[in-house]
Amino acid sequence: MDNRIEHDSMGEVLVPAHALWGAQTQRSHENFRIGTERMPQEIIRAFAILKKAAAMANNELGRMDKNTCELIGRVCDEILDGEHDDAFPLVVWQTGSGTQSNMNVNEVIANRANQLLEEGGAIARLHPNDTVNMSQSSNDTFPTALHIAATLSLTERLIPAVSALASTFEHLERKNQGIIKAGRTHLQDAVPIAFSQEISGWRTMLETSRSQIQSTLPYLARLALGGTAVGTGLNAPKDFDVIVAHRIGELAGCEFQTDPNKFHALTSKDAIAFAHGAVRALAANMMKIANDVRWLASGPRDGLGEISIPENEPGSSIMPGKVNPTQCEAVTMVAVQVMGNDSTIGFAASQGNFELNVFMPVIAYDFLQSVRLLADAIESFNKNCAVGIVANREKMAQNLNESLMLVTCLNPHIGYEKAAAVAHKAYTEGTSLREACLELGFLSEERFDEVFKPEEMV
């Protein structure tokens, strides 16, 4: 492999000739051969937004000339367009401040900008630290990139996915009006419920989760940038933090503002932990919904069989004709992964020692994985399962009519204990509630038929 010589404050390093990165990226690439988890692309793109905004703020404050600012912005746009995805090879398991990923971005921007300068016949050179990292520190850029990436992933991916599935359930509610079925609690028969009411519970779970996630966005909107190394803002000009937050908002299409207390912004990850808690709550709701759907669709002959769901692929390599609720299973696996990630994020967020939290790469990786997986799983579940849910009216009616808990409607007329006796007799003798009640002499035929109306129990 052809190499070139790059140098940093520690000396010379051999870097692949074709690579846009420099010495500090190469050192990290060689020193942290741990796992296969690379820094998420969402973080790299957030860094591109951040670096472009920082150049604009430095230009506005008179620290950077217009040509350099525009050149940095041009390279950042290339990164945002995915032109240099292979230039960011670093793994998650690196320094806990994310310094090496910050420098990876700085070096790529500087080297690519210098290529463009050379192509234009210019000799001026951008420096990754002095130019691209101007008025910044890894300690304030990485948490800023984390908040940008978290906000965009929630608003652009997860919230729209939740809204789409909620709309599907709203449609199913209207479509299934008037269908009465057995309710169930503790996995046991309970009093009747309208199928549309059951679906409305799923819809409202999603709408509530969406509101909870949205409530976390104002906290993610507070950016650490401008705090530099320890929160004091050393080497950043006055008002840089306010201006750069505004510029980030313009570039990202979301509202951001500078965190009023940079000491809090650098050392605490409470906003991320809070936001992921809402994501975890959505995962819990999706687990419940997916479980409900696969229970209701269980069978096709020996289960509940009250709904049918799309048959997407064969379910067994040995049992011909078997079809499984695979979309539900994918959702539940994603849900437990998100719950595991929440534990990691919670532990990592608790490790803010003195002026900095040094668990930020793993927090970023797990947060963005949770959002990415959950958004994908919800979209897949919606497209490949939820839209195809069909009520099995005959089976619902059969299960409803066989439910002993319909006896509950007799409580006001014969009392709880007599109603319990009716249910017990019907169950042990394998008869209907009507037969048991008449044999016990609690009601006449006419009176029983008058008060026993399951359709009015919902």
Q: Which residues are catalytic?
A: 186, 316
Q: At what angle do helices 416-429 and 433-440 cross, to 10 degrees?
A: 120
Q: Residue 20, SS3?
A: coil
Distance CA 184, CA 189 (A): 5
Longest dimension (CA), the chain: 104
Run of H or E including 357? strand 356-357
Which strand (E) or helix (H) includes residue 193? Answer: strand 188-194
Give the count of beta carbons closer than 10 Å to the beta carbon of residue 397. 16
Which residues sit opposite 13 in a β-bridge? 6
Q: Cβ distance 184 to 190 under 8 Å?
A: yes
Instruction: Encode 255-281: b = buried (16+ Cβ within 10 Å), e = exposed.
Output: ebebbeebebbbbbbebbbebbbbbbb
Residue 117, burial from CB neighbour count under 10 angstroms (0-12, 13-18, 19+): middle
Map tokens 């050379």 to a residue: 118
Rounded CA separation 45/251 (Å) = 11
- To which residue do tokens 């690579």 refer? 19
CB 314 within 8 A of CB 322: yes
DSSP β-bridge partners for residue 6: 13
The answer to whether 132 and 106 have CB atoms below 8 angstroms apart is yes
Bridge partners of 180? 194
Please report which residue ranges of 221-269 form alpha helices under DSSP H. 240-252, 262-267
Helix (H, G, I), strand (E, B) or coil at 180: strand
In our burial notation (b when 16+ CB lie closer than 10 A, e otherwise), range 311-339 reads: eeeeeeeeeeeebebbbbebbbebbebbe
The pair of structure tokens assigned to 59 is 């230009």
DSSP 8-class letter at 297: T
- Please give the Cα distance from 15 to 4 (Å, whole number): 5
Q: Which residue in 126, 144, 349 sits closest to 226, CA to CA?
A: 144
